[in-house]
């Protein structure tokens, strides 16, 4: 499981962001993976799962649609390389390190897939 560190506090999570006008969530996921973590590959067009979270003390609730990505390339240079840390975790460790409770619940589903 590839995690990226939050730019605000360094806590571990998955690449996420906002879709652009008319952009499918799978295309947004592929773009965010490339920008935040430098990875590319084959993205599953079907939403694997969703979760919600709040940023620190923000009153806003953010909703995330998660797509699985089969990584085929890892770039040496990518847009957020110098503002984010990246790290591969075994799924069991990712369950402990994930910043959001909803993400931890989602990862327990991934663990059961035995990918």
Looking at residue 8, its pLDDT comes to 86
Answer yes or no: are the C-beta atoms of 43 and 67 closer than 8 Å: yes
pTM of the model: 0.89
DSSP-derived letter for residue 84 is: -
Q: Please name the residues in contact with 22: beta carbons below 8 A apart, sequence gap of 6 or more.
A: none
CA distances from 44 to 10, 47, 79 (A): 27, 7, 23
* Percent of the chain's residues with pLDDT above 90: 79
Is the pLDDT assigned to residue 111 strictly greater than 80? no
Tell me the H-state helices in 1-115.
25-37, 91-97, 101-113
Is it the case that residue 64 has pLDDT exceeding 90?
A: yes
Average per-residue pLDDT for the chain? 93
For residue 85, what pLDDT is reported?
Answer: 96
Q: What is the pLDDT of residue 57?
A: 77
Which comes out higher in pLDDT, residue 11 or 56? Answer: 11
Q: Which domain holds residue 35?
A: 2-113
Domain CATH number, residue 42: 3.90.79.10
């Amino acid at each position: 499981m590839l995690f990226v560190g939050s730019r605000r506090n360094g806590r571990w999570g998955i690449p996420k962001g906002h879709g652009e006008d008319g952009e499918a969530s799978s295309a947004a996921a592929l773009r965010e993976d490339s920008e935040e973590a430098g990875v590319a590959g084959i993205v599953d067009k079907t939403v694997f799962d969703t979760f919600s979270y709040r940023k620190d003390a923000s009153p806003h609730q953010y909703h995330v649609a998660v797509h699985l990505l089969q990584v085929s390339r890892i770039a040496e240079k990518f847009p957020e390389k110098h503002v984010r840390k990246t790290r591969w975790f075994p799924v069991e460790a990712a369950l402990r390190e994930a910043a959001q409770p909803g993400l931890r619940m989602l990862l327990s589903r991934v663990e059961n897939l035995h990918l």
